[in-house]
Structure 1
Amino acid sequence: MAVKVLVVDDSSFFRRRVSEILEQDSDIQVIGFAVNGREAVDKARELKPDVITMDVEMPVLDGISAVKEIMAATPTPILMFSSLTRDGATATLDALDAGALDFLPKKFEDIARNNEEAIALLQNKVKEIGRRRISRFTRPLTSPRPASPTPATSTRTGGIVQPDRSFSRSTPAAPSPSSNVRASGKQYQVVAIGTSTGGPVALQTILTQLPANFPHPILLIQHMPAAFTPAFAARLNGLCKINVKEAQQGDRLMSGTAYLAPGGQQMLIEGRGSARTLRVFEDDSPRITYKPSVDVTFASAAKAFGGDVLAVVLTGMGADGRDGARMLKQVGATIWAQDEKTSVVYGMPQAVANAGLASENLALNDVATRLIRETGCG
């Protein structure tokens, strides 16, 4: 059955362009258009699409407000389009907070090497999030952002909409058996987390629960354009008790600090002992699709830390992270993967799990608890 799409944009040119690209794929059917956010809310209720593509800036009702209303009334997977600017990045992150599942730059050729790749990227994203066939979500969290740090045992959400990726509107599920697993007793020097589609919400869910005294540095590899990573790092830093920053060349790895790989660049670890620092560089290699790449950073962590790495692969399209996880596993590192039920897209964690590399498959809401217990800071 084809994925049914509602295209929302105030530009007739862009509506036509997106529609033409999507309908080149026989597994996608564009069933309607909307020219502003208010019309999008009405069309979502009337047409019941499997996916909505949504512009951020529109008249009458903007894209972020439209996402909030749609997720409250007729929850639907939403793919945002935004400009590659500071304001565009902030607005896109707000849309993800409101419940949108993924995003693309409005000029999506900016993150593709050619027109064919750009077309495939849009089509694949629509099909991946459309496969969820969302019918129900948990209700948005409406409490304001806390003014001061919350206890380590509570969940910091900063007002983020926390969609239950099992798509049940019921109360949160009881903790899974994995959340009660005892610590292995293994010693670590670094935690590395890789993710893509659905990653901003997943990372925020995990990192806001970690205590300020988290005992290791954390490497974050999120597939994201260069214009977005500074805003995302700043947002996380404002919400978390640990420090979060966009990684820079020469950063010294410090416990209780998370380093977000800059968009369009690779992040490696250099040095020995307590003098380990980050190498951040632009990568022009045509052989590496993702910049930043989970595989690249995981491989570097394997070389720098051997088996003293705890790596986590979260929701995302494709298989980035599998080869790096294999290298980590070969030197004795610990690999965890997010489970299918709570992943927006199960591609990346599934690739790791199917390769037999993950010692645990965790629900998203269990990851922080397990990290705290496993690293001994709880």
Structure 2
Amino acid sequence: MLTSKLPSVSTTIFSVMSKMATDFNAINLSQGFPNFKSDPALIELAAKAMRDGHNQYAPMPGDLLLRERISEKIQNLHGKHYCPNTEITVTAGATQAIFTAIAATIEKEDEVLIFTPAYDCYEPSVALFGGKVIPVQLGAPFYRPDWNVVRSKISPKTKMILVNSPHNPSGMLFTKEDMLQLQTIAEENNLLVLSDEVYEHIIFDGEVHQSAARFTSLAQRTFITASFGKTFHTTGWKLGYCVAPQTLMNEFRKVHQYNVFCVNTPLQKALATYLEEPSHYLKVADFYQQKRDYFMSLLKSSRFKIIPSKGTYFQLLDYTEITNEHDVVFAERLTKEFGVATIPTSVFNTEKQDFKQLRVCFAKTEATLKQAAEILNSI
């Protein structure tokens, strides 16, 4: 008789709302994927790599040239050197990197502090290995961390703190001071850190991404995970990476080699060439800020209360002036009756706390955003 290892886990809210969008022919602003084409130059590089015969297994840690490009990128942006041979591994997306880092480190009864609202892969990954998530709820509307609360949650069983900046779903950014606080707490309590930085290049209004790589002591105890899919509008490629000091990466690779062993060879070849031009990732912030600003301008006459996102390609919409419905109920009604699919944010919160906010994805064409805004303005 099978006993489920994840008895409380069901289909993700992203799948549920995307299916509902299809069933009711609604505009899908729920799941975080672009509905516009990727750069044709990148697509051609991938096709060329296939034509050139790069269709067999890649090295287990990833294509060496790609790892070198990742190392150069981090050095140029954050002033930190990661050795391509021993401290960088290419993964099947950031979710696999997150899972692998947790699998390599978390044991039965270990506690992992996670800021909620949190991306929904974190808690099940911890649970699979017998760990326990200790949530630290961030409060609406600004979702700023209270580091005194973090300190109060630490126990002798605490093994890791998991952070995410730019933050999904709120669009909040950790500041330099936040990262210094994190560094101090991790040092004082000898904790590991897992830093989910998949939206590292999608930051607005001149802000700077405060990567864990920028902080010397913090970097020595941190796994950093990232996503090429998010950066280059290719979420279906499922290609990302993890960087960490050699002692941590050794353990990461022990799991990685028996989980996926290696990932898509021609796409790695394509990205290695594409990363030779830094503007390909440096221009992403401006690209998405234009979309955020355009969408916000269209919603000025709506009844939603909006604090512009500081990063990611997500925006929260506060609907307290429209209805008192639970956010799951309102999101379903928006999809079925109005034709716009969104994500209710309570599903990411501790004890499903409902702040009356929906998450929308603005990684869409202007035509899609305009059509969605017209509907939202009518509510």
TM-score by length of 1: 0.31
Structure with the higher fraction of residues in helix conformation: 2
- As a proportion of its length, which structure holds more strand? 1
